[in-house]
Amino acid sequence: MAAVDKKKIIESASKFIAKNQFDKAIKDLQKILELEPKNNQIALKIAELFLKLDKKQDAVSYYELASNMFRDSGFYDKAIAVYRQVLSLSPPSADPYLKIADLFRKKNLTAEAVSNYKIAIAIYEKEGKVQEALKILKTITELEPSNLPGRMKLASLYIKNGLKNEAYKEFVHIAEKLIEAKKTIDLITVYEKILTIKPDDSNVSKQLIKLYLARGDYQKVLLRVKEIITLGKPDTDALIALAKAYTALEKTSLAVSAYKEVAKLYTKEGLVPQAREIYKKVLEIDPTDQQALQIVTGAGPVEKPMIEIQPEPLESTEVHAGKAPKTSEKSAEAQQEKKTAAVPPEPRGKQATEKKEGLSAEAIDKYLSEAQVYKRYGLNAKAVEKLLQVTAVYPSHKTALTELFELYQADKKSKEASEIAEKLYNILMADGDIERAEEIIRKALANDQDNEVLKALAGESAGPTEVKAEQPEGTAMSEDIGQTSAPEARTAPEQVEAVESKEEVAGQIPQEIDTGIEIEVEAPMTPETGAEAAIGPDDGVSDRAEGARAQGEGREEPREEVPIPEQIEFTPEAGSGEPETGKAPSGDEIEFSFSEEEMKEISPEAPAGKQEQPAGRPAHGSHEQGAGMDVIDALDEAEFYYQQGILTEAKGILLKILKSFPNEERAKKKLAEITAKEEESISASNEEGLTELGESFIQKEAPVVSASSDEDLFDLARELENELSTSVVKTDEPRPEEDQQVSVEEVLEAFKKGVEKSVDKEDAETHYNLGIAYKEMGLIDEAINEFNIAIVSPDKKADGLIMLGMSYMGKGLPGKAIEMYKQALASKGGVKQKNIGLLYEFALAFEAYGDMKSALSYFQEVATIDGDFRDIKDKLHRLAEFSEGETIAQPEVEKPAAKEKFTLDDILTEEQPQAQEEKAPIKQEPVPQAPVMGPKTDERTYTQGADADKGKPKQPKKKVSYI
């Protein structure tokens, strides 16, 4: 079509519009669009005309067309503005938001893109289109791999849709990132989420407990430990955490009970040194605890049994090839003694000093956590200082030593590191933690290759020897090496007492070494054990004998050695030791037995029938043993489970006891209690579908306490019950942590309600201020609402109207903006005319509205006042092109960032507008006055929102041309 035709068509269309014959005008304009398919202004105009005809769907189609044109021409901001127009015309739909998001991506504005994607997701979620929502969420995570909240959302959606494995993977990924970023608070949330998917993830559970402890969230520690208990046997870590939590909560007796449970577990596993350490902790929180005193100091009323159970020198232990060796109670202590003999004991004075100046558990924890903090931030010297404070009191504190070692290594202080490594090595070997011990030496050697001691230790650990702590002495080592071939022999914890126990050994055991008591325990042995257990007469050989025994039983089975605590803990009258299986009681002999499970583990060959034979065992007594079962121990264990509400476990143990000892009255009594409790639980179990455990925690009645048992333990359970009953209720409430991020919409709604209640409608100033606050945040609708309230007051009417105009510009509604500016102008006490900023804003509004000539007119007026004002030169240049018939301006990407070509001084001294306003020509009505904003977010909003206006603004009395 010829140019002439186009001009004629435009004229025709204009006439139709003037006559309100919009449908005819549309037809004309559509013809032009056929001629110029990229003419975005025509598309926009057609859309507007459809709107006038109230044909929204058609209008939307043309807006979308126009938007695509802008996008294809590189006018992303305009495209976005037009799509926003679509949003205002259509019911909520994800599609426009997705398109807007894509446009923001093209502009490399990821945050804005993500923001719009999120809205689309919310819409999809509302519509139940989960797959679509997931797809976008994945896009977000690709777009922002580090967008952890987005990933959390994705994981949550996975959960909602039953995709637990995907959710788990996502959470694990998030957790890794959070660990890297050291974001512990978020990590807690993620761990909690993981546990909702996999409650039995013990590693996460442990980590979570650590985090709770570190944050002082002791109630959650209690709750978490409870959950661990429900899932199986509590381990020492969990119980230690429990004890720490109780300590922190100043529930001393409960903390003591928890610690004692830990000690019990340790002793059962033959980890005597660890058990002893635990008792030390008990003393730290309760220095009067007799049981702990007796164990730790070797004094007090239980000292006698302690002596009794001290093993004779190992050389007297008889272990014969081909015969089950006589196992004695001596293992750990005997090892300690041997080591004591090999390594000169610490002077008593030193030990005494350490105890006297001992730090509380809290203090230790505090120092350690402070050291951690310092370490994390690279303040190694400070961290070392804190750790040394710990080791000054507890020279064998493994955690402190390990941290010290790492710090020295990191600081290249090889000498110090090697010294620590040596010490740590001995402790770890004594604990049977051979891998870590070797690793420490390896690490130390890497930085201190010429260190002979380390080399020797490395060589030693590589070989089959079993007695590390004695290595410096070197006595009888060759013989040991020659006779002990299995490496596991080294790992028996009782072989080598920890260095930390040297002091104790020195302090309490020397006189016991030569007691001459020979203890023989017929522990079931594997044939090979006996075969290798040739024992020589000297200490070293004795040591080897222990090693050999351990070897035969496996490194995890050091149970032939009954540690001191076990005796004392379970039997107040511990002196009356019962004989081990097959032996008559003897006051001089260590009572000892394996539990049924232990028996099975140690001696798989042992016939089951044999276990049921409580040879020589009395049916009653304080410390019955037999059939591989220590009744007191078993009763105690049952009691523990009972108190923790794990009735099934408790019941099982009691039934085992009764199987071996049918007349065991305490077991019968407890079993009856449990049965009664179960019945109660069943009757109460209709409440909220709580688990059996949960019910037991929530029951109000305190469990029946056996006066003859560990009362602390009962208190522990009761307290735990009380603590957790509250916690359980709390966890049922929706907690923000579990919802990860709280949406702005949610918060905003609550906030607005709060404002409604607390701010009077008449308080225009506050509403105006709030409007500014909302607008600054991009909450335009909320801002408009506040300004609308504010303008009721005459004092705020003009300012409020101007702010409304600005807000409408932000919404891409320049027509409404012009209207507001006009009202502001007309209002009493309104802004003065000829304000350069207002002229400029008015021009922007006209430009956005599509009335380029009016816009040009205002820009020219601005230029008359200040030719350098913001980007006025550029505006004039572009609109000059328009006046020559050009429709499309240059792409916005080419816009110079020259909009702020004013200075603060200019602003602050800018009195000229008022001074000049009388002189300035008024080119058309109304004389617009618009505010000028500084740049930042608002500016972008204006430019990108300047191309569409759904409203029906009153046109200036100027002839309008559409092209």
Partner 1 sequence: MSFINYSSREINCKIVYYGPGLGGKTTNLQYIYDKMSPDTKGKLISLATETERTLFFDFLPLALGDIRGFKTRFQLYTVPGQVFYDASRKLILRGVDGVVFVADSQIERMDANIESLENLKLNLKENGYDFEKIPFVMQYNKRDLPNAAELQEMKTILNPKTSPDFEGVATKGIAVFETLKAIAKLVLVEMKRSTAVR
Q: Which residues ranging from 371 to 390 are in contact with partner 1 (CB under 8 A)?
A: 373-374, 377, 379, 382
Contact 260, 569 (CB under 8 A): yes
Contact 263, 243 (CB under 8 A): no
Residues 703-742, mask of contacts with partner 1 (x by CB under 8 A) = ---------------------------------xx-xxxx
Among 453, 702, 728, 748, binds partner 1 (CB under 8 A): 748
Distance CA 278, CA 289 (A): 13
Among 35, 534, 759, 920, binds partner 1 (CB under 8 A): 759
Q: If binding is defined by CB under 8 A, does position 910 make contact with partner 1?
A: yes
Q: If binding is defined by CB under 8 A, does position 655 make contact with partner 1?
A: no
CB-based burial label for 542 (10 Å; 0-12, 13-18, 19+): buried
Residues 200-239, mask of contacts with partner 1 (x by CB under 8 A) = --------------xxx-----------------------
User: Helix H segments across 557-710?
Assistant: 564-570, 596-602, 608-611, 631-643, 647-660, 665-684, 692-698
Among 179, 608, 676, 773, binds partner 1 (CB under 8 A): 773
Q: If binding is defined by CB under 8 A, does position 849 make contact with partner 1?
A: no
Residue 56 tokens, joined: 């929204």
Considering the complex, state which of residue 25 and residue 790 has its C-beta at the smaller distance from partner 1.
790
**Any bridge partners for residue 522, and if so which?**
326
Count of Cβ atoms closer than 10 Å to residue 772 Cβ = 17
Considering the complex, state which of residue 226 and residue 796 has its C-beta at the smaller distance from partner 1.
796
Among 537, 607, 754, 867, binds partner 1 (CB under 8 A): 754
Considering the complex, state which of residue 386 and residue 670 has its C-beta at the smaller distance from partner 1.
386
Please choose, from the candidates 188, 214, 568, the residue with its C-alpha nearest in 3D space to the C-alpha of residue 365: 214
Distance CA 122, CA 323 (A): 75
DSSP 8-state secondary structure symbol assigned to residue 887: -
Residues 161-200, mask of contacts with partner 1 (x by CB under 8 A) = --------------------xxxxxx--x-----------
Distance CA 831, CA 796 (A): 11
List the interface residues with partner 1, window 75-134 (CB under 8 A). Answer: 110-111
One-letter amino acid identity for 435? E
Q: If binding is defined by CB under 8 A, does position 758 make contact with partner 1?
A: yes
Q: If binding is defined by CB under 8 A, does position 867 make contact with partner 1?
A: no
As measured in angstroms, the least distance from the Cβ of 767 to partner 1 is: 10
The b-or-e profile of 432-468 (16+ CB within 10 A means b, else e) is: bbbebbbebbebbbebbeebebbeebbebbeebbbbb
Q: Assign 41 to helix, strand or coil.
A: helix
CA distances from 352 to 107, 609, 870 (A): 72, 50, 81
Handedness of CA 872, 873, 875, 879 (dihedral sign): positive
Considering the complex, state which of residue 682 and residue 750 has its C-beta at the smaller distance from partner 1.
750
As measured in angstroms, the least distance from the Cβ of 922 to partner 1 is: 17
Considering the complex, state which of residue 216 and residue 662 has its C-beta at the smaller distance from partner 1.
216
As measured in angstroms, the least distance from the Cβ of 808 to partner 1 is: 15
Contact 797, 827 (CB under 8 A): yes
How many residues does the structure list for the chain? 963
Among 5, 573, 765, 894, binds partner 1 (CB under 8 A): 765
CA 934, 940, 945 angle in degrees (round to 5)?
Answer: 120
Judged by CB under 8 A, the stretch of 120-128, 221-229, 498-506, 923-931 that binds partner 1 is 923-931
**Calculated CA dihedral for residues 686, 688, 692, 693, nearest 10 degrees:** -150
Report how many residues bind partner 1 under the rule CB under 8 A: 82
Among 24, 89, 149, 219, binds partner 1 (CB under 8 A): 149
DSSP 8-state secondary structure symbol assigned to residue 522: B
As measured in angstroms, the least distance from the Cβ of 496 to partner 1 is: 38
Among 1, 750, 880, 922, binds partner 1 (CB under 8 A): 750
Interacting residues of 652 by C-beta distance below 8 A, sequence separation 6+: none
Considering the complex, state which of residue 186 and residue 284 has its C-beta at the smaller distance from partner 1.
186
As measured in angstroms, the least distance from the Cβ of 741 to partner 1 is: 5
As measured in angstroms, the least distance from the Cβ of 747 to partner 1 is: 5
CB-based burial label for 606 (10 Å; 0-12, 13-18, 19+): middle
As measured in angstroms, the least distance from the Cβ of 899 to partner 1 is: 8
Considering the complex, state which of residue 876 and residue 902 has its C-beta at the smaller distance from partner 1.
902
Please choose, from the candidates 420, 337, 334, the residue with its C-alpha nearest in 3D space to the C-alpha of residue 384: 420
Considering the complex, state which of residue 163 and residue 214 has its C-beta at the smaller distance from partner 1.
214
Considering the complex, state which of residue 3 and residue 908 has its C-beta at the smaller distance from partner 1.
908
Handedness of CA 892, 898, 904, 905 (dihedral sign): negative
Q: If binding is defined by CB under 8 A, does position 905 make contact with partner 1?
A: yes
List the interface residues with partner 1, window 784-843 (CB under 8 A). Answer: 798-799, 802-803, 824, 831, 835-838, 841
| Preceding omega of 572 cis (within 30 degrees of 0) | no
Among 486, 770, 862, 927, binds partner 1 (CB under 8 A): 770
Q: If binding is defined by CB under 8 A, does position 933 make contact with partner 1?
A: yes
